Amino acid sequence: MFDAELIAAFYRKETPFYYYDLALLGRTLNAAKTAAESHGFHVHYALKANFNGRVLEYIRDTGFGADCVSGNEVKKAIEMGFDPSKIVFAGVGKSDREIDYALRHDIFAFNVESVQELRVIDGLAAKLGKKANVALRINPNVDAQTHHYITTGLDENKFGISYWELGDAIEALRESDYIELIGIHFHIGSQITDLNVFKSLCIKVNEMNNWFDERGFRLQVLNVGGGLGVDYHQPDIKHVPNFQSYFEIFANFLERKPGQEVHFELGRALVSQCGSLISRILYVKNGIKKNFLILDAGMTELMRPALYQAYHKIERLSPIAAVDNEEQVHYDVVGPICESSDCFGKEVLLPRSARGDLISIRTTGAYGEVMASHYNLRDEIRYVYSDEIV
Ligand code: LLP
């Protein structure tokens, strides 16, 4: 919810733009940090959710590490001042050049997704005369009960090493002189709202932890990935996720061996609610069956509704003090892109709106700006920070 002064400032700006509420970001990060530290847990922020400069500065200053999925993300994290000893590099298809770059910068660890990748890292580390820390990403076959596009921990998914390949992985580790196994890694999906899913994950992690222990590997790190969901329906009520309940599950259900660290890779939960996409109504089309609001933002600025049929709360920002008993109308809220999938919401109930009114699309701090594209040769995405808006 935005106050009248802020809305007036939005009206003075060129649209569309992402608005980042840095105070809310700060509160969210502190809540996560306090909850994690109470159990001695380590958090690596998943850069893929949002790599906007000021957002990253806040996260770095909170003391979190970085979870990267490309060489450019590793580079960005280093340039932004994240400590390389707190950077992990994940991803199912790391190129030789990306691995080489990360090795040269002495990152904390590679989350390795296949036996072949282990051998490639060993070879590249040998050339540099360095030892690479690796955690094996294991596919635990746990259903995250989320959208199938963002489920990653099932047998049918491309991610991680399957149970039946672990023997080969151990053989590769024993044969390699330039690799140090430091841990095991899991990530089963994103936008997980049923916390019981994480209990099932803990049970699999415990099994694997024992399996490696029995084979003489003393693992330093249990990395359980990210995935904690946010409330897209009530951004003003549930603006800070319940990190306490989330971390408590791992504290209660993971069986840590002496000295073992627990690492997390949270993205969405840390940055979603601090971002909103602010857009202007270009045209209103009143039809017989449908009314459309055509915005100046489209799937090129926010891809999630088109790609995953994701729900985001849509609000009309009133240019004047709210009037009681405003007429409410059902609108399909759409963008300007030449695709029918360019739709933010169907039959959205909003006050009767006019050309020039502003619309906010909420909970877009994660996987919003970062997934913007130039399709239709659209402009570069703009953003505005809460402490700079006039
Ligand atoms: N670690 C790994 C290995 C991941 O693949 C991901 C996300 C994360 C951590 C962070 O997950 P989070 O805490 O944000 O759930 N574009 C999609 C989400 C894709 C998530 C990909 N992996 C969306 O807009 O919903």
Q: What is the pLDDT of residues 331-388, one digit of tens each?
A: 999 999 999 999 999 999 999 999 999 999 999 999 999 999 999 999 999 999 999 9
Checking if the pLDDT of 202 tops 70, the result is yes
Confidence class of residue 104 from pLDDT cuts 50, 70 and 90?
Answer: very high
Nearest CA to ligand 1 atom 3: 187
**How many Å separate Cα 364 from the centre of its chain?**
11
Question: Distances from the Cα of 255 to the Cαs of 23, 33, 266, 327, in angstroms?
Answer: 36, 22, 21, 57
Strand, coil or helix: what is 162? coil
Q: Tell me if the domain spanning 22-270 has CATH number 3.90.180.10.
A: no
- Residue 265 CA to ligand 1 center (angstroms) comes to 9
- pLDDT (average), residues 104-115: 97
Give yes or no for residue 266 CB within 6 A of ligand 1.
yes
Ligand 1 centroid – CA 189 distance (Å):
7
Instruction: Please check the confidence at residue 150 and state whether its pLDDT lies above 90.
Output: no
CA 227 to ligand 1 centroid distance, Å: 6
CA dist 197 and 145 (Å) reads 8
pTM of the model: 0.95
Residue 148 has pLDDT above 80, yes or no: no
Relative to the CA of 111, which ligand 1 atom is closest? 3
Q: Ligand 1 in contact with 227 (CB < 6 A)?
A: yes
Q: Please name the residue that has the structure tokens 């109504």.
A: 281
Please give the average per-residue pLDDT across 110-127, as a whole number. Answer: 97
Q: Where in the chain is the domain with CATH 3.20.20.10?
A: 22-270
- Torsional class of 123: left (φ above 0), alpha (ψ -120 to 50), beta (otherwise): alpha
Residues forming CATH 2.40.37.10 domain(s) in the chain:
4-17+273-389
**291, HSE (Cβ side, Cα atoms, 13 Å):** 16
Question: So what's the pLDDT on residue 169?
Answer: 95
Which tens digit of pLDDT belongs to each residue from 9-53? 999 999 999 999 999 999 999 999 999 999 999 999 999 999 999
Q: Half-sphere exposure (CA, 13 Å, Cβ side) for 268?
A: 20
CATH topology of domain 4-17+273-389: Lyase, Ornithine Decarboxylase; Chain A, domain 1 (2.40.37)
* 377-388 pLDDT, tens digit each: 999 999 999 999
Ligand 1 atom nearest 137 alpha carbon = 3
CA 221 – CA 183 distance, rounded (Å)? 4
Whether 261 and 242 have beta carbons less than 8 Å apart is answered as no
The model's pLDDT over 47-81, given as tens digits with 9 standing for 90+, comes to 999 999 999 999 999 999 999 999 999 999 999 99
Q: Would you place residue 276 in the very low, low, confident or very high pLDDT band (cuts 50, 70, 90)?
A: very high
User: Is the CB of 89 inside a 6 Å radius of any atom of ligand 1?
Assistant: no
